[in-house]
Amino acid sequence: MNGNLKLALQKKGRLTEKSLELLSLCGLDIENYSERLVVSVRNFPLDILFLRDDDIPEYVQDGVADIGIVGENVVYEKQTGTKVLEKLGFGRCSLMFAYPEKNELKKIEDINGKTIATTYPRILNEYLKKNNIKAKVIELSGSVEIAPSLGVADLICDIVSTGNTLMMNKLKKSFKVFESEAVLISAEEKLKDPKLNEILNDLLGRIRSVKTAHSSKYLMMNVPKDSLETILEIIPSLKSPTVLSLAEENMLAVHAVIPSDKFWQIVNDLKSAGASGILLLPIDNLIQ
């Protein structure tokens, strides 16, 4: 026990790089992690444990790690009782049925009587029950995508993200069973050890700031003085925007933090209102 908070991350997979990227945006300086089970953070009281993602909920529930980053798909499948502290906004994927390209699957009822290979038997069985479908479920621990070509199953129910795995295995995606993204989990809403809980709250604050920062952009532009009011009406700003005077007398500079996805909706309105030199900059952190 070194008094550090212990965070479990996926050892090797879709979430590994993105999770480390999030931590680094949180200002954490992480040693080279390749092939190591535990890595300490140089400038923050955190140890990172690299584990199989499927094992993370259980390790967190058992206290081997205090918190973990894992897909909601794994959290719901394992039902270990861990709590979701924060949705992280990356690692979005869907649990979907997929079947060999040469076959057809038009309606969900066509799954009746078929054999499905999956690593998510609990979520799948729940879905089949809800849709009143009788099918045989085969639980595999990995490489589900090769089951149809091996003749082990008619179709699979697996995680699809980019779709590359399906494409490489000549499988076509079909109905969606579950949607997922990466989440931060812990055994309890609040950690029992007050010191660890303090570290967790610090980390959570940083994560939230990175999340808002990433969904926001810093907008800068020059506007004619007499269209300032119109411009301010167009900007969905988090706080009141900054208005600065420019050397050119009838012009002003306006700076504002806006939601990233709003920019393209308002850019034409801004231009018609006379805005020029429009700059949109990324934000690393945003503390509110």
Question: Strands 5-10 and 67-71, how do they pair?
Answer: parallel
The size of the interface with ligand PRP (CB under 6 A), counted in residues, is 13
**What whole-number distance in Å separates Cα of residue 98 and Cα of residue 154?**
9
Q: Which positions from 201 through 240 interact with ligand PRP, judged by CB under 6 A?
A: none
Per CB under 6 A, 72 contacts ligand PRP: no
Cβ(218)–Cβ(281) below 8 Å: yes
- 55 makes contact, choosing from Zn ion, ligand PRP, none, with CB < 5 to 8 Å by partner type, with none
Q: What are phi and psi of 161, to 5 degrees?
A: -120, -85
Site map 12..31 versus ligand PRP, x via CB under 6 A: -xx-----------------
Taking the least distance from each CB to ligand PRP, the nearer of 96 and 258 is: 96
Q: How far is the CB of 119 from Zn ion (least distance, A)?
A: 7
- Residue 267 has which token pair? 């850019």
H or E, element range at 207: helix 194-214
- 14 makes contact, choosing from Zn ion, ligand PRP, none, with CB < 5 to 8 Å by partner type, with ligand PRP
Question: Strands 115-118 and 136-139, how do they pair?
Answer: parallel
Q: Which positions from 129 through 168 interact with ligand PRP, judged by CB under 6 A?
A: 142, 158-165
Q: Which residues bind Zn ion (CB under 5 A)?
A: 53-54
A 10 A CB-CB count for 250 gives 8
**DSSP string computed for 215-264:** TEEEEEEEEEGGGHHHHHHH---SSPPEEEE-SSTTEEEEEEEEEGGGHH
Q: How far is the CB of 216 from Zn ion (least distance, A)?
A: 32
Q: Summarize as ranges the residues that interact with ligand PRP (CB under 6 A).
A: 13-14, 53-54, 142, 158-165
